[in-house]
Amino acid sequence: GAVVSQHPSRVICKSGTSVKIECRSLDFQATTMFWYRQFPKKSLMLMATSNEGSKATYEQGVEKDKFLINHASLTLSTLTVTSAHPEDSSFYICSAGNAFGEGDSPLHFGNGTRLTVT
Amino acid sequence: EDQVTQSPEALRLQEGESSSLNCSYTVSGLRGLFWYRQDPGKGPEFLFTLYSAGEEKEKERLKATLTKKESFLHITAPKPEDSATYLCAVQGGSGGYNKLIFGAGTRLAVHP
């Protein structure tokens, strides 16, 4: 089945530094990837849609200058949390859709990245 | 605005005690309703897709059903390994093909 790899699984950084999270589709091409944020015991909140070769589309209330998204190829999207602060601590999950929309699930999810900003 | 509400928020069952989880939705032009399982510290794992009212799908102890306003995830004779958070998501006509709106989930705990 389709596999999405997310790295790192956990990261701890100091306030003011930047952190990059990678999301790779391992066995299919993904023209679109999605970045979600999840707070404890809460649902997945869509942050942005990452489009290969073009600018990301951000959801209302998400700061595009803080959460930089790059989708340089059909198999890789990166999320960079810039000048991280403790309130950015969260569980970030990426997902990718099959380029041709095949299969029973429109999205395949990575295993998430637990970000802790101290 | 597309919206998904899941209930209960948390559910505790004894092993073998069957129950159902609810997912109510409002969406403009439902393209699909999806159930996922999420274990702590992991990403969601796909379970089912339902496309139209009246549709049912089964997998081991789980059965998902769909009406025009809600979906149920029935768990028959659950085992402790079924403990997880179950997420419901919808794909509406206003979003892109792969854009999903998630509910807050039901945290299920099955005790031996």
Q: Which of B91, B95, B98 shows the shortest CA–CA distance to B50?
A: B91
- Reply yes or no on whether the pLDDT at A4 is more than 80: yes
Residues of chain A in contact with residue B98, where contact means CB-CB under 8 angstroms, are 32, 34, 95, 97, 101, 106-107
Cα A77–chain centre separation: 7
Question: Token pair of A96, please?
Answer: 């990718």
Q: Residue B68: left if φ>0, alpha if ψ -120 to 50, beta else—which one?
A: alpha
Please report the pLDDT score of residue A1 as a whole number.
Answer: 61
What is d(CA A88, CA B53) in angstroms, rounded to the nearest whole number? 40
A44 contacts in chain B (CB < 8 Å): 44, 87, 102
- Interval B29-37 mean pLDDT: 91
| CA of B43 vs chain A CAs: smallest distance (Å) | 4
The pLDDT confidence band at residue B53, using thresholds 50, 70 and 90, is very high
DSSP chain B: --EEEEE-SEEEEETT--EEEEEEEE-SS--EEEEEEE-TTS--EEEEEE-STT-EEEETTEEEEE-SSEEEEEE-S--GGG-EEEEEEEE-TTS-TT--EE---EEEEEE-
Cα(B71)–Cα(B22) distance, integer angstroms: 6
Q: Which residue has the higher pLDDT, B11 or A74?
A: B11
- pLDDT tens column, A24-44: 999 888 888 999 999 888 889
Name residue, tokens 């340089």: A72
Residue B79, CB-side half-sphere exposure with 13 Å CA sphere: 4
**Residues of chain A with C-beta less than 8 angstroms from the C-beta of B107:** 41
Collapsed DSSP state (helix, strand, coil) of residue A88 = helix
Q: Which residues are bridge partners to A21 per DSSP?
A: A79
How does the average pLDDT of chain B come out, rounded?
92
Residue B82: its pLDDT value, please?
A: 98
> Residue B75's beta-bridge partner residues?
B19, B62
Residue B99 binned pLDDT confidence (cut-offs 50, 70, 90): confident
A11–B contact, CB cutoff 8 A: no
Nearest CA in chain A to B106: A41
CA pair distance A116, A9, nearest whole angstrom:
11
Upstream peptide bond of B8 is cis (omega within 30 degrees of 0):
yes
pLDDT in tens, A58-114: 999 999 999 999 988 889 999 999 999 999 999 999 998 764 444 467 788 999 999
Q: Tell me how far apart the alpha carbons of residues B29 and B91 are, in angstroms, rounded to a whole number.
A: 9
